[in-house]
Structure 1
Amino acid sequence: MSEETKQDVFNEVMDEWQVDETMPDANWKYPDFKLVRIKEKRFKDRYDAALPDDIPVVSKDVSNTMRTYHFLWWKEFLDKAYDNELSGDEDINYKVRSESAEVARALILGVWRVAETGEIVKLEAEK
């Protein structure tokens, strides 16, 4: 699983395509267009596969609970939290409610970052 963000790919493209002042004029004015197309395709594919820059961040306890209840639709998950029906740590319902905006975004996107560890979690689609 790639943990590369769209900004990471963009920065690498900018670094690679930066004109070196020591290059002869002919080399950067008339590049090898076949090579340019190959690199462009490679970067487009990486950019499309990259994670969004603004990944939701949730606490470790909330992340673990989201994994446990991965089969619920995001609204059902939050409804359970507001009805104090989530099992686990006694404060988990409160924690989920306090992070509800990030939790909703994370469940809709299917990806989030754990605040304490920086780990990126992706929900896998059922097969």
Structure 2
Amino acid sequence: MSNETKWDVFEDALRALEEFGEQGSSWEMAYDDLSARYSAASDEALPDDTPVIPKVVGEILRSAYGQTNLLGVLDTARNGYKVSETLAWIIANQNTFASAWVLGVWRVEETGEIVKLEAEK
């Protein structure tokens, strides 16, 4: 998986299409070339609305992933013996947290860095 979003791939394909037009290539040639080149890239690209979560929340997600399930994390955040800002954020932003959990990828709020969970070996 790359760090490109689907929108990035679309913009790259659009630029390539413009180049084909400038070279006088036919639309059929352009379509064949672009569909081969950008179809796989689009499949690999991140969603445009990649969840954005704070770094500390990402650390909890990363450490809990594979050791428990999403419901367990949300239950701990809600009913844990010690409420923290981080757990309060998870409860207040359950949909965003769940999206990051399911996708296995998120953007760090403070830095903009893309974090991806490693595939299990």
- TM-score range relative to shorter protein: 0.7 to 0.9
Q: TM-score, normalised by structure 1?
A: 0.79
Question: Which residue of 2 is the match for residue 111 of structure 1?
Answer: 105
Moved over 6 A (4+): none
Question: Which residue of 2 is the match for residue 93 of structure 1?
Answer: 87
Structure 2 CA distance for aligned equivalents of residues 6 and 48 of structure 1: 8
Residue 83 of structure 1: how far off its partner (Å): 1.1
Q: TM-score, normalised by structure 2?
A: 0.83
Question: Which residue of 1 is the match for residue 96 of structure 2?
Answer: 102
Structure 1 unaligned segments of length 5 or more: list them: none
Residue 121 of structure 1: how far off its partner (Å): 1.3
Residue 12 of structure 1: how far off its partner (Å): 0.8
Letter in 2 for 1:28: S
Structure 2 CA distance for aligned equivalents of residues 17 and 30 of structure 1: 9
CA contact under 8 A between 2:3 and 2:46: conserved in structure 1? yes
Secondary structure of the structure 1 residue equivalent to 2:25: helix
Question: Which structure features the higher share of helix residues?
Answer: 2
Task: Tell which structure's C-alpha radius of gyration is larger.
Answer: 1
Query: Which of the residues 86, 100, 115 maps onto 1:121?
Result: 115
Number of residues of Structure 1 aligned to a counterpart in Structure 2:
118
Letter in 2 for 1:82: R
Question: Which residue of 2 is the match for residue 6 of structure 1?
Answer: 6
Question: Which residue of 1 is the match for residue 59 of structure 2?
Answer: 64
Structure 2 unaligned segments of length 5 or more: list them: none
Structure 1 CA distance for aligned equivalents of residues 27 and 98 of structure 2: 49
